[in-house]
Structure 1
Amino acid sequence: MFVNPWAYLVSTLIVLPVGFIWYNPKVFGTIWMREAGVNADAAKSANMFKIFGLTILFSAMATMMLQGIVVHQFGALSMIGGMPFADTAKPSYAAFMADYGATFRTFKHGMLHGAMTGLFLALPIIGTNSLFENKSWKYIWINVGYFIICFTLQGGVLSAWEN
């Protein structure tokens, strides 16, 4: 009812083109490498299969959580115990979903919640770790900016692509 596997797949894979652009040397890549202390030669010998494989896995995990944040109807669904109980829920659930089942299911609304998630979730996590690692604010904002862009686009896809 709420889960579109194509939206999940596209949302999960959004991180790759955004990362290719965001961390390109002509955008933020050179600054990020300097601030992160990453050596370009060492980066070339990294295990790219592991890096990109885990990136996709982590993005899929984030997509699963983001779906519940950007699609408000998941709150109503959780009140009845989840999808297995949708058919046996009280009539009030069916009436609520008939009235509000597609409310706020727009790309723009999903982008808003995605951006807020990036700002209010990614920033505290990355910021805290980075401060303890003695990283610069440039490093923090480059990484947080990446997640704000990714979550914004992912939120838009997840919210708008209902079926």
Structure 2
Amino acid sequence: MEINFLALALASLSTLAVGFIWYHPKVFGNIWMRESGTSMEKMQGTNMALMFGMSLLYAFFIAIVLQALVIHQMGAFGTVGGNVQDPQYIQFMEAHGNKFRTFKHGALHGFLSGLFFALPVIGVGSLYERRSWKYVLIAGGYWVVTCMIMGGIICAMK
């Protein structure tokens, strides 16, 4: 099983697209700014190229992990130590190579990853930062939706 870097790149880019909509002032942007203690003036003083560049890098790291969570065949790949010439691996991939490789299936696993991993990570940090539940639901909700879309993209692109 080869790593599909195009799928990982598209999944990473999807985080910016979702963020553009999610954090738009007419959606959750104004509430998020109020709850996070930031403002448009504060945001404008930021190096946006660096912020978006680092966001894409972090999203790529997340995509790499999601790949292992949404594509079941990655388990077989890991079991044989990445040796795609292993006869058992070849036999497994012939029988099961494209099973559960749909956007819908990847979105399900991405949703579960966002709900049971990303949201709690945001939630725990927010407890210690004394953030509100609105903040947790907005920031955590973004990652639940984003992981769902990323998982769908990664799983569907064979």
Indicate yes or no: 2:141 matched with 1:128: no
State the distance in 2 between where 1:20 and 1:109 align.
25
**1:13-162 equivalences in 2 (<5 Å):** 13-82=13-82, 85-87=83-85, 89=86, 91-162=87-158
State the distance in 2 between where 1:93 and 1:30 align.
51
- Code of the residue aligned with 2:49 in structure 1: it is F
State the distance in 1 between where 2:119 and 2:144 align.
9
- Code of the residue aligned with 2:84 in structure 1: it is A
CA deviations over 1:23-58 (Å, ceiling 9, x no partner): 000000000000000022111111111111100000
* Gaps in structure 2 of 5+ consecutive residues: none
- Code of the residue aligned with 2:103 in structure 1: it is F
For normalisation by structure 2, the TM-score amounts to 0.97
Instruction: Kindly report structure 1 stretches of 4+ aligned residues shifted beyond 3 Å.
Output: none
State the distance in 2 between where 1:27 and 1:161 align.
30
For normalisation by structure 1, the TM-score amounts to 0.94
Identity among equivalent pairs (%): 46
- Code of the residue aligned with 1:48 in structure 2: it is M
CA RMSD of aligned residues (A): 0.9
CA deviations over 1:47-87 (Å, ceiling 9, x no partner): 111111100000011011110100000001101101xx111
- Code of the residue aligned with 1:120 in structure 2: it is F
CA deviations over 1:117-160 (Å, ceiling 9, x no partner): 00011111110000111100100010011111111111001101
Question: How many aligned positions are there?
Answer: 158
State the distance in 1 between where 2:94 and 2:139 align.
41
